[in-house]
Every structure is written in structure tokens, then in C-alpha cells.
């Protein structure tokens, strides 16, 4: 390891470009967990995907071009969550201060219905919404990338997908954490596929092995050559439908042909006068929940409290409890249900919601229900952050839902199908795989998008691009992003410190504070929070943040969460 500008850099590599439009022969890439560049940066879950994105930026591509290349690369070298068989959200901030947001979330197949996962007695059939062909929503990623390219891409689409094709056919290098993750998924892959899949290696994977995916390379070539039709029609569509028929799945040719990603207006709010926080609107609950949390924090004076103090943790957790109760009631696909976004972000409403907050005591969750916002009558994922040398930024979170989704690989097409249907409220009050519950607003309907917690965020400070961030983590995504933002804006931590800091999470139900066993909260704080009536539940790590901070003097710092194999790559 060497130190550059006081920052730890695991590798600083020099690349010489000899071909490609706008390429520069003198670009020095900085790569590592925490690196500073002067021009551009990509931070993602896999070193090879970050590099591919950074090379596109160095060729003169913009942040959206790099996002498309990174997304396809992750679909190859980060199969736990990178995907073409899943979906996601992309938030973009242009250098003129305008924003756009792309929803390429999966949709329920048209054959889906409300009680799809219940037996004759109305009971949930275990595993049906998570481990079977029925668990998959209609994939959105390929349409999303084509849509993003059409609107904002500057380099040819084929140049953006080609690095992923090469990575699939030549193979990618397995990282250390990834080897363990793939090995623990082997049993599920073997159980749920009739033919051998490339993700399982006899004797197990080790760091440094090469994983090749020739079927996936052929699918990506069809997408390169035929665009949308290369995935939603022709051979790939036939292979998806054949795969469905092997396991009682219901995705049809029509479902595929009718899938469209949509541009949506992101949600945005001002935090403590200086910061504009912008994130994803429904069908993600992330942006609305994050803004609710920040407004409550501002009112409660979080910025005057001490980092990880009893007072601060108590306030944050009590806000989270109330916000997740609202999420369960009101949030769903805006194309199917009226989500009262304005009401949920109304200042008076949020103050009213915190009236029951007692600085001395935890409010038991069974005494907290959703509120009544004005205008109302009566859940492995991966995130990447990009800043280009033109000042544009992309924050994108993409997922198959569980790690490796349904573990079902489309035979001869080489990609893994999502199990996103479990993000619907499959039965009112029944917790999904992240313990989240929901009701009518997020009930299954044909063609509807399942509610998400994904929270890609872009923060401006004094009108200038400041922070680009996001994380996986199911229900904990929202609270992790919340902690990153307040760790920096309120507690004055550097991005590296903010990302490394211990994380905690409360989601209303279950009524407990989750914390990271390996990165615990200060013990005196835990004891005093216990005295206030909070209970605790230890777990593995929470989230894997990929973030970029732009300093006032224009330095671009990428930080990759120490919790994963994630890596920053920039110049
Ligand atoms: O959209 C959502 O909220 C979930 N499908 C995200 C899943 C996730 O983050 C899993 N990663 N740990």
C-alpha cells in the first residue's frame, strides 16, 4: 500500500490509451478503497466494473455513458446483484444543476394476482416469492440502459456494452469476499437449476480465480447488435419463456415485449439551508423516507448533538420508527396507487408525527401507527456512484433483490433471474425477507412495480455538487444513506469516516435497533438506550456504500465501503 496525498491507495495504475475517440495517452488512474482524483471517479462493488466505467470516462464519455458500461460490467463480474435479469434506479445530476431519474424497476407479470403466494387457506407458501420461477418480476435493466443511452448517451452503445462482453467471454477475476459469497450460494444454484451454471466451481472458488460466462456473453452480444429486441424479443425472450415453463413461472413474451422503463421526477428537499438532497421517487420509498428523516432531524436539532451519542441515536431511531410506519401504509407504485408524496413531506405533518417523541423514552412500536398526511382521507443489491470530468453525476442502485436473486439462471442465456416479487406485500402484515410489512398500496397487481427501498442520493452544498452516494441492504438502505448524510453534514465526519462508522437501523417493526456486531455502538450508549426502553439485535454488516464527495476546490474523492470488495477508480 502506498500513500498519495495522505490517502491510502491500494494501487495506482497507469493506463496508456492508444485507440478510441477522445482517448488520452497520459491518464493515470488512481484505484483503491479511498482515492482522490482531479477529473472523474467511479465507485462500485467490483474493481473491474469501476475500471471499465473509469475508462469510458477517460475516453470522453459522460457519467451516463460510464453508468451504462458499469451497469453491464457489474452484470458480469458482480452476479450477486449486478444484473440484466433485475432492475434498478438511476439518478442523474447534470452540471447545469438539472436532475433526471430513471425507473427501470421490475414489474409484476400480467399473470400475477394479489394472492399469488398464498395457499387455499390464505397462508403464505414459504419460499414461493423468493426461491422459485414465480419470484421473478419482468426484468428492467436492459430497457433502462437503452433508454438512458437514447436520452443522454454520447458514445456508441456498442462501445459501452463491449467491455462487459469481453469480461464475460474472457472471464473476470474473483475477489476475496466474492469467492466466499459464491461458495455459500453453490447449494442454492445446484438445487434450483437443472444444468450446471458457471457460478458453481467444483471444490469451490478462491480469490484470483477466473470466472467465464460464455452464454451470458452471447446474450450481451444479442443486446449489442439488436438493442431492446436482443433481450425482450427473439432468442433471449424465447429462452426466458422456456426457462419459465421449466419451473411454473409466468413471465410471457407479452410481458417482455410490453416492459418499459420510465423517466420520473426525483424528490428533492433542502436540509439545513445549505444542502439540497435529491433522491428517488416512488416506486422507491427511499427518497421520500430519507427526506422525512432529514426534516425530522433538522427540527429535532440533530446537528447540535454529539456523534453516536445516546441523544442522537435515540432521536434518529425514533424518527425511523415513524417513517417506516408511514412507508408500510402509503408507499407503492405511483402508476397504481396515489402516493401522497407532498403530504408525507409536509413540514407540519412531520412535526405532528414527532409529537409523541419522548427524549427520555422509546415509544413502543405497537403505539406507533402510520400518520395521516394532508390530502389523505381517512423490500443483494448494488450501488455505484459516478462523477465525470464535465461535472455530471450519476447515483444508481440496481438489484436482483436477494443475493443472486432467485438463483435461477436462464438456461443457455446465462443470466440470473431476480426474486423481486417478494418486495410486494404478498399478504397484509406478512413480513418480506427484510422484515418489512405493507398493505394495499403495495399489493400485487398485474403490471405493477413492487415498492423499493433503494435510495440513490445526490447532495448539493451551496448549490454545488457535493455528495453522490448509495448502498445495498434491503430495508436498511434508507437508514444507511440517512446516516451517511448526517455523519457528514451534522457531525462533520469525512466521507471515509462517515462510511466506516458503525451503522444502526430501526424500521418500526420489528421493534428493535439493529446494529453491526463487528462494528458496535459505544457500550455506554447501548446501556443508556436500553434504559430508555430500546431493545437491540446484533447482525452482520449493514450496507456497502459506494460514494463520492466533491470538495470546494474541485477534488473528487471516491470512497468504497471497507465492508466489501468495492473499489474506487478515477483520475
Ligand atoms: O428494492 C429493494 O428495496 C430491495 N429489493 C433491495 C434488496 C437489497 O438491497 C438486498 N441487498 N442487501
The DSSP result for 71-119, as a single string, is HHHHHHH-TTT--SSSEEEEEEE-TTS-EEEEEE--B--TT--TTTTB-
Dihedral sign from CA coordinates of 295, 299, 303, 309: negative
CB burial class (10 A; 0-12, 13-18, 19+) of residue 177?
middle
Q: Classify each residue of 65-92 as buried b or exposed e, where b means 16 or more C-beta atoms within 10 Å of its C-beta.
A: bbbbbbbbbbbbbbbbbbbbbbbbbbbb
Asked if 451 contacts 442 with a C-beta cutoff of 8 angstroms, the reply is yes
With cell 446484533, the residue in question is 538
pLDDT at position 374: 83
CA–CA distance, 430 with 413 (Å, rounded to integer): 34
Domains of the chain: 30-88+99-263+385-442 (no CATH), 264-380+453-563 (3.60.20.40)
Catalytic site includes residue 381:
yes
Read off the C-alpha cell for 102: 430513471
pLDDT band of 319, cuts 50, 70, 90: very high
Residue whose cell numbers read 453525476: 393
List C-alpha distances in Å: 564 to 173, 429, 500, 518, 542. 15, 33, 11, 13, 11
Between the CA of 542 and the centroid of ligand 1 the distance, in Å, is 12
Residue nearest to atom 6 of ligand 1 (CA): 474
pLDDT at 19 over 70: no
SS3 560: strand
Given the residues 36, 337, 381, 455, the one annotated as active site: 381
pLDDT tens string 31-54: 999 999 999 999 999 999 999 999
For a substitution probing ligand 1, which of 453, 542, 543 has the most ligand atoms within 8 Å of its CB?
453
Degrees to nearest 5, angle at CA 126 with 122 and 128: 90
Question: With 60 as the cut, is the pLDDT of residue 20 above it?
Answer: no
Nearest CA to ligand 1 atom 5: 401
Residue 7 CA to ligand 1 centre (angstroms): 31
Nearest to 75 by CA among 57, 48, 54: 48
Whole-number Å distance, alpha carbon 10 to ligand 1 midpoint, is: 29
Residue among 406, 472, 474 to mutate when testing ligand 1 (max atoms within 8 A of CB): 474
CA distance 279 to 393: 13
245-249 long-range contacts (CB < 8 A, ≥24 apart) are 246/133, 246/194, 246/411, 247/132, 247/133, 247/134, 247/408, 248/132, 248/133, 248/134, 249/132, 249/133, 249/134, 249/136
Tell me the pLDDT tens digit for each residue of 188-238. Answer: 999 999 999 999 999 999 999 999 999 999 999 999 999 999 999 999 999
**Ligand 1 closest atom vs CA 473:** 12
Q: How many Cβ atoms sit within 10 Å of the Cβ of residue 348? A: 9
- Using the mean position of ligand 1's atoms as its centre, give its distance from the Cα of residue 132 in Å: 17
- The residue with cell 405511483 is 334
The protein residue whose alpha carbon is closest to atom 8 in ligand 1 is: 474
Q: Which atom of ligand 1 is nearest to the CA of 422?
A: 5
Quick one: pLDDT band at residue 376, thresholds 50, 70, 90?
low
Residue 512 clears pLDDT 70, i.e. is over it: yes
Nearest atom in ligand 1 to the alpha carbon of residue 379 is 3
- pLDDT at residue 366, rounded to an integer: 92
The CA 379 to ligand 1 mean position distance, Å, reads 6
Task: For the chain, give the percent of residues with pLDDT over 70.
Answer: 95
Closest atom of ligand 1 to CA, residue 477: 9
Q: Which residues line ligand 1 (CB under 6 A)?
A: 379-381, 399, 401, 420, 423, 452-454, 472-474, 477
Whether residue 533 has pLDDT greater than 90: yes
Q: Which whole number is the average pLDDT over 414-422? A: 97
Amino acid at each position: 500500500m502506498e500513500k498519495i496525498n495522505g490517502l491510502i491507495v491500494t494501487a495506482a495504475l497507469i493506463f496508456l490509451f492508444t485507440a478510441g475517440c477522445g482517448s488520452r495517452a497520459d491518464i493515470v488512474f488512481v484505484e483503491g478503497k479511498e482515492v482522490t482524483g482531479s477529473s472523474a471517479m467511479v465507485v462500485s462493488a467490483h474493481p473491474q466494473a469501476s475500471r471499465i466505467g473509469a475508462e469510458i470516462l477517460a475516453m470522453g464519455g459522460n457519467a451516463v455513458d460510464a453508468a451504462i458500461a458499469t451497469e453491464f460490467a457489474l452484470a458480469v463480474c458482480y452476479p450477486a446483484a449486478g444484473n440484466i435479469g433485475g432492475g434498478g434506479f438511476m439518478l442523474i445530476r447534470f452540471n447545469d444543476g438539472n436532475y433526471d431519474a430513471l425507473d427501470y424497476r421490475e414489474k409484476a407479470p400480467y399473470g400475477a394476482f394479489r394472492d399469488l403466494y398464498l395457499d387455499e387457506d390464505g397462508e403464505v407458501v414459504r419460499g414461493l416469492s423468493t426461491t422459485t420461477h414465480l419470484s421473478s418480476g419482468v426484468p428492467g435493466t436492459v430497457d433502462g440502459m437503452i433508454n438512458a443511452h437514447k436520452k443522454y448517451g454520447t458514445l456508441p452503445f456498442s462501445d459501452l456494452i463491449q467491455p462487459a462482453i469481453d469480461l464475460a467471454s474472457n472471464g473476470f477475476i474473483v475477489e476475496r469476499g466474492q469467492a466466499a459469497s459464491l461458495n455459500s450460494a453453490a447449494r442454492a444454484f445446484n438445487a434450483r437449476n437443472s444444468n450446471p451454471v458457471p457460478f458453481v466451481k467444483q471444490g469451490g472458488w478462491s480469490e484470483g480465480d477466473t470466472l467465464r460466462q460464455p452464454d451470458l456473453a452471447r446474450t450481451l452480444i444479442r443486446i449489442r447488435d439488436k438493442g431492446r429486441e436482443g433481450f425482450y424479443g427473439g432468442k433471449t425472450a424465447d429462452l426466458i419463456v422456456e426457462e419459465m415453463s421449466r419451473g411454473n413461472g409466468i413471465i410471457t413474451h407479452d410481458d417482455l415485449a410490453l416492459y418499459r422503463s420510465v423517466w420520473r421526477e426525483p424528490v428533492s428537499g433542502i436540509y439545513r439551508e445549505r444542502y439540497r438532497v435529491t433522491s428517488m421517487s416512488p416506486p422507491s420509498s427511499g427518497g421520500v423516507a430519507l427526506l422525512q428523516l432529514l426534516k425530522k432531524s433538522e427540527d429535532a436539532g440533530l446537528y447540535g448533538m454529539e456523534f453516536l451519542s445516546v441523544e442522537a441515536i435515540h432521536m434518529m431511531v425514533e424518527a425511523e420508527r415513524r417513517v417506516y410506519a408511514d412507508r408500510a401504509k402509503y408507499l407503492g407504485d405511483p402508476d397504481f396507487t396515489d402516493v401522497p408524496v407532498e403530504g408525507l413531506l409536509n413540514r407540519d405533518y412531520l412535526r405532528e408525527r414527532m409529537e409523541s417523541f419522548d427524549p427520555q423514552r422509546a415509544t413502543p412500536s405497537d403505539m406507533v401507527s402510520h400518520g395521516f398526511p394532508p390530502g389523505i382521507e381517512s423490500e443483494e443489491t448494488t450501488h455505484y456512484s459516478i462523477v465525470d470530468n464535465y461535472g455530471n453525476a450519476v447515483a444508481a442502485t440496481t438489484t436482483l433483490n436477494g443475493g443472486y436473486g432467485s438463483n435461477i439462471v436462464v438456461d443457455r442465456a446465462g443470466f440470473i433471474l431476480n426474486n423481486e416479487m417478494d418486495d410486494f406485500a404478498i399478504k397484509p402484515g406478512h413480513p418480506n425477507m427484510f422484515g418489512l410489512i405493507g398493505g394495499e398500496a403495495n399489493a400485487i397487481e398485474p403490471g405493477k412495480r413492487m415498492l423499493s427501498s433503494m435510495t440513490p442520493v445526490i447532495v448539493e452544498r451551496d448549490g454545488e455538487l457535493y455528495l453522490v452516494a448509495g448502498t445495498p441492504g434491503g430495508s436498511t438502505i434508507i437508514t444507511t444513506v440517512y446516516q451517511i448524510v448526517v455523519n457528514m453534514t451534522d457531525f462533520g465526519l469525512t466521507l471515509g469516516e462517515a462510511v466506516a462508522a458503525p451503522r444502526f437501523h430501526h424500521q418500526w417493526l420489528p421493534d428493535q435497533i439493529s446494529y453491526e456486531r463487528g462494528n458496535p455502538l459505544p457500550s455506554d450508549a447501548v446501556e443508556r438506550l436500553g434504559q430508555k426502553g430500546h431493545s437491540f439485535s446484533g447482525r452482520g454488516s449493514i450496507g456497502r456504500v459506494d460514494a463520492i464527495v466533491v470538495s470546494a476546490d474541485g477534488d473528487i474523492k471516491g470512497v468504497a465501503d471497507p465492508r466489501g470488495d468495492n473499489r474506487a477508480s478515477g483520475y
